Structure 1
Amino acid sequence: MTTTLATLALDDRITGSLLGAAVGDALGGPVEGYTPEQIVERHGGRVHGIVGPWHGSDWRTARPIAPFHKGDGHITDDTLMTHALIRVYATVRDHLGAYAVADHLVPDLISNPRWIPELEAEALPLQRVFLAEKWMVARLHYGHNDPREAGVGNIVNCGAAMYMAPVGLVNAANPAGAYAEAVDIAGAHQSSYGREAAGVFAAAVAAACVPDATPSSVVDAALSLAKDGTNAAIEEVAEVAVRHTDFDSALAPLRAAVAPFDTVGPDYRAPSLAARRPSRLHSIEELPIALGMLVVGGGDYRRTVLGAVNYGRDCDSIATMAGAIAGALHGESAVPQDWAKTVAEASRIDLHAPARELAEVTREVFARDTARRRAHESAFALLTDTR
């Protein structure tokens, strides 16, 4: 029987989403921070697959603040954090909240050395994650702040949103549940529209798991839950995205649509003085653009992710989010096998093991939810029995 969207199994969607996120991350890494025009000049055209580091063999010294080997199929911190969150799910085996970040995620980041592809060495994940993620260690491990509000004061960016795909998958086909859980988790890491984006991205992944889901239904689910500037930014970007079927023509219009909501400004590497501060009027750039590219690409994994990659700016995170949603829509077969093989081998990582683990946990959590719901129904029935 021919497999269709309506018959894709849970395991296939989870694998497709996590594999899709990791491959998108690896494709976007080497061109992160640049404009579409700079990408074309550097690569002699649009990027259509895995490329090497922007600065070639000088990757260690070209950017001292980020001495990372981005490119050649290496995953970045987006995937490292995604897999770290899956390990927390594998330990807790139930829904998570901010306290799970303090009790499990932070200790993992500072205690367990792992192979870090961008460092080409075994190291603590803490030594690779960037400033907004190091904040969690300072606030929770050293500052002993309440995990539910530890994210307040951090730079407001996509740091929490970028690794929330597992939350959407554990809550597959339940966008509202995914949103609530991700907002709780992200309180330990982010505030304002950074925290909001985490909830909406998780909801989008959950919505992509609905059997008859489409790019349009995913965007609708996101808009039904998104608040303030995040809602407005997604709406503006989506209205532009529907006018395009080719990412090349969509790059400038999508940037123009999201620019009023983005605090970073036109020069990604030189943020404005108002950048990344809390606001109800603004949004991170990455999530609306990821959803926009999903619409432009018609949900097709390759077109969606390449659109995200060639957009530039924070394109590893944009491609991570876009890849996670497109992978959940279409399953593992949607992700080009040669890309996935190269990324797994170059990064020295088993990209399928986290998916198998999360699929098992997701079933356990659903069984727990079912039991809890039935217990509630039984108790409520007694409370309302008028006999």
Structure 2
Amino acid sequence: MAVTANAIWGRTEQQDFRSRVRGTLLGAAVGDALGAPLDGLSLTEIQEAYGAEGLTDLAPAYGRRGAVTQLTQLSLFSVDGLIRAQVRRDTGAWHPPTDLHRAYLRWAATQRDWGPDERRKDDGWLAREEWLYARRSPARACLTGLGDDTMGTPTAPKNPGEAGPEAAARSAPFGLLVGWEPQLVLQLAMECAAQTHGHPTAYFTAGAYAVVVHALARGETLDTGVQRALALLAPQPGQQPVSDALQHALGAVRQGMPTPARIEELAGSGTAEGVLAVAVYCALVGEDMRHGLCLAVNHGGPSGAAGALTGGLLGALHGETALPPAWLAELEGRPTMLVVADDFAMEMTQGAALHGPTGSAPGWLARYPRA
């Protein structure tokens, strides 16, 4: 897999990129946390519990406000895998899907083990974060897809009938590979989605979402990102439901004020492409991040996934300063997320100063081992 060379990064460009990386990861996590209490509820049940406007603030889930789910856990391991892929490239081994698969297997271990195993030195620092060992309703497809060492691919996927949105919800980090061509971002996100969600709708949705985030992380508009995703999807057999969902989202913007009924109609049965349509629509019509996220989660579909996808888009578009401070203050795991985001930004902009053929920083390799 070839990639284009990164541009020379000036200080201003580095600061902007770091803000967008933080915004993407924290935005997705905030959306996940906002939607988590609503998963499994119908719109009527949501309105009965939270009022006619639905949920407008963080509410308790898993025993606390601001709790995140497996969606955020896996997104963090996506970032970990991408950094490890860059570090391993020094050895001549360059196959990012394999490094992402190993990262996802490290997440799977957190769902089986009581806590970190200090004997596994090659796990790196993220797998030693004790809060990540909480089981937060992990999707069955993620557990079964990562239940052994065999890696699924688009030609031989795991769970070929699984069309849920969970793979797309961990795919925002692929869009942050701003030095890559969009076609390669699409390909990598699809390959990694097929490790757990083997239905074409699921992995094409993951790829399309990553391409849209990629455009936003490069400073382009949301419409530009959607049009690029549509163009890249067009020649792919089996992608039509995803393209139709994206076109449906764009068309819904012109149909008047957003309503829960319109969002439920976009979400459809709650499979990946419908949740992507909800996220694109809410990111386009939301007055700000808070409004966009509240629109995204108040429906009878997968609220956490819709919130995560929407938050990732808005965070990549506006950067970290657009995130609601009161929600960030209560977000579970925020210190870890900030470190992951900053490590990723540093690797992508200054990786040559951290590791390479002529020498490497021991502390960096301890955090992200090559093995």
| Interval containing the TM-score (normalised by the shorter chain) | 0.7 to 0.9
Q: For residue 312 of structure 2, what is the amino acid of its counterpart?
A: A
Q: How many Å apart are 1:113 and its aligned residue?
A: 5.6
Counterpart of 2:207 in structure 1 is 199
Matched, 1:237 2:223: no
2:40 to 24, 33, 38: 33
Percent identity between the aligned chains? 21
Matched, 1:77 2:70: yes
Q: Secondary structure at the match of 1:15?
A: helix
Q: How many Å apart are 1:108 and its aligned residue?
A: 4.3
Q: Secondary structure at the match of 1:317?
A: helix
Matched, 1:324 2:324: no
Counterpart of 1:381 in structure 2 is none
Query: What RMSD, in angstroms, separates the aligned Cα atoms of the two structures?
Result: 3.1
Pairing of 1:82-121 with structure 2 (within 5 A): 82-93=75-86, 97-110=96-109
Deviation digits for residues 54-96 of structure 1 (CA, Å, limit 9, x no counterpart): xxxxxxxxxxxxxxx1761101111000011112123222676
| 8 Å CA contact retained: 1:297, 1:304 | yes
Q: How many Å apart are 1:145 and its aligned residue?
A: 5.5
Pairing of 1:210-221 with structure 2 (within 5 A): 210-211=218-219, 213-221=220-228
Q: Secondary structure at the match of 1:351?
A: helix
Counterpart of 1:19 in structure 2 is 26
Q: Please, which runs of 5 or more residues in structure 2 have no aligned partner?
A: 1-12, 117-129, 234-238, 354-371
Q: 1:153 to 1:10 in 2, by over 3 A?
A: same
Deviation digits for residues 179-234 of structure 1 (CA, Å, limit 9, x no counterpart): 121112222222210111110111111011232x3332233233223331100111
Rounded Cα–Cα distance in structure 2 between residues aligned with 1:182 and 1:123: 23
Q: Secondary structure at the match of 1:34?
A: coil
Rounded Cα–Cα distance in structure 2 between residues aligned with 1:123 and 1:356: 19
Counterpart of 2:164 in structure 1 is 157
Counterpart of 1:376 in structure 2 is none
Q: Please, which runs of 5 or more residues in structure 1 have no aligned partner?
A: 1-5, 54-68, 116-120, 265-275, 277-282, 368-387
Question: Segments of 4+ in structure 1 off by > 6 A?
Answer: none
Counterpart of 2:297 in structure 1 is 309
| 8 Å CA contact retained: 2:146, 2:195 | no
Q: 1:39 to 1:71 in 2, by over 3 A?
A: farther
Rounded Cα–Cα distance in structure 2 between residues aligned with 1:122 and 1:351: 12
Counterpart of 1:52 in structure 2 is 60
Deviation digits for residues 329-380 of structure 1 (CA, Å, limit 9, x no counterpart): 1101100111111114xx575331111011122225799xxxxxxxxxxxxx
Rounded Cα–Cα distance in structure 2 between residues aligned with 1:198 and 1:35: 25
Counterpart of 1:291 in structure 2 is 280
Matched, 1:175 2:168: no
The higher radius of gyration belongs to 1
Rounded Cα–Cα distance in structure 1 between residues aligned with 2:60 and 2:107: 30
Counterpart of 1:271 in structure 2 is none
